[in-house]
Structure 1
């Protein structure tokens, strides 16, 4: 059985992006990349919505070959290229997968819940999603998330994209809370009860 794990950075006031969806306004630090690399290495599949997928697809391939980038970023780029990716989208096609064509499958929205439930039931490796807040809220409402890792960064935006747009179908149970090493970022890990 596989778990669906969500990992998202948000500000203290609960935003996962700034005005206009600007994720670069979030309080990133080195611990964020180190944490995400660990999750990537343990997962078997990345799950994205169309917007986040396009951003990742356009950003990471160049980082893998850029010697000026920190090794943790290059490792994320390499793993992102090789890992299987599922993208929930009614607008993207195979032509939109670019350098990740061989490792990307596009799921239409009307088939996503059934396919993700099947992967949770029959899979052996975890399914990981970063960003993709519209998809995350949909999966939470459908009861298809097993673990949520909320990284709370030391920043306040006062406006932007909120982490939650609808209530989840299941109750949150806190299973871990700690400060990431060498960071002002807190990790809150939640499991979901039926």
Structure 2
């Protein structure tokens, strides 16, 4: 995602979001990409302090990968969920702890939207038109009402949006 703007103003804001999460949720493609990248940062002598801090966070956070095709999740603190997604998330929401957050994983996000599992959306609108890729909101059959909780404009032109899903 070389098009995404990340700068000195946006970094602390995003880091604050990570501190509120103790379970990272991934689809297969994003999980495999993260698994192949972040552990290498831990041993990279040229990694920035911020990247090292994030690499430690992602290495130690509880990770759930949702996939019907993977046979196992081998990354530290990872586990695989193949089916019964709604039941799994309902169970996780009943447990004490911090937030659950989907990282990337647009197809997993589609599944969560269709199952009504998303409580809040944190979106970062970058000042760029891609013209392709996987849409975030795809095949939505009924309209979804969202309540704006926060809108923050960053100097680089990125707008951070925080919405709460309003249940009908």
More strand by share: 1
Structure 1 residue 38 displacement after superposition: 2.2
**Higher RCO, 1 or 2 (CA under 8 Å, sep at least 6)?**
1
**In 1, Cα distance between the equivalents of 2:10 and 2:30?**
17
Is contact 2:109-2:136 (8 Å) kept? no
Instruction: Pick from 67, 71, 91 the counterpart of residue 118 of structure 1.
Output: 91
Structure 1 residue 79 displacement after superposition: 0.3
Where do residues 91-130 of structure 1 align in structure 2 (5 Å cutoff)? 91-94=69-72, 97=74, 100=75, 102-108=76-82, 110-130=83-103
Deviation string 1:50-107 (CA, Å, 9 cap, x unpaired) is 000000000111112323222111111110000010110011122x52xx2x400100
Is contact 2:61-2:77 (8 Å) kept? yes
Cα gap change, 1:148/1:112 in structure 2, threshold over 3 Å: closer, same or farther?
same
Structure 1 position 79 matched with structure 2 position 48: no
Deviation string 1:12-71 (CA, Å, 9 cap, x unpaired) is xxxxxxxxxxx33x3332255444332222211000000000000001111123232221
Q: With the length of structure 1 as denominator, give the TM-score of the two structures.
A: 0.77
**In 1, Cα distance between the equivalents of 2:10 and 2:70?**
28
- What are structure 1's unaligned runs of at least 5 residues? 1-22
Name the residue aligned to 1:29: 6
Alignment size in residue pairs: 165
Name the residue aligned to 1:14: none
Name the residue aligned to 1:192: 165
Name the residue aligned to 1:151: 124
Query: Secondary structure at 1:161's aligned position in 2?
Result: coil
Is contact 1:141-1:169 (8 Å) kept? no
Q: With the length of structure 2 as denominator, give the TM-score of the two structures.
A: 0.88
- What are structure 2's unaligned runs of at least 5 residues? none
**In 2, Cα distance between the equivalents of 1:158 and 1:119?**
36
Is contact 2:5-2:156 (8 Å) kept? no
CA root-mean-square deviation: 1.9
**In 2, Cα distance between the equivalents of 1:120 and 1:166?**
26
Cα gap change, 1:67/1:179 in structure 2, threshold over 3 Å: closer, same or farther?
farther
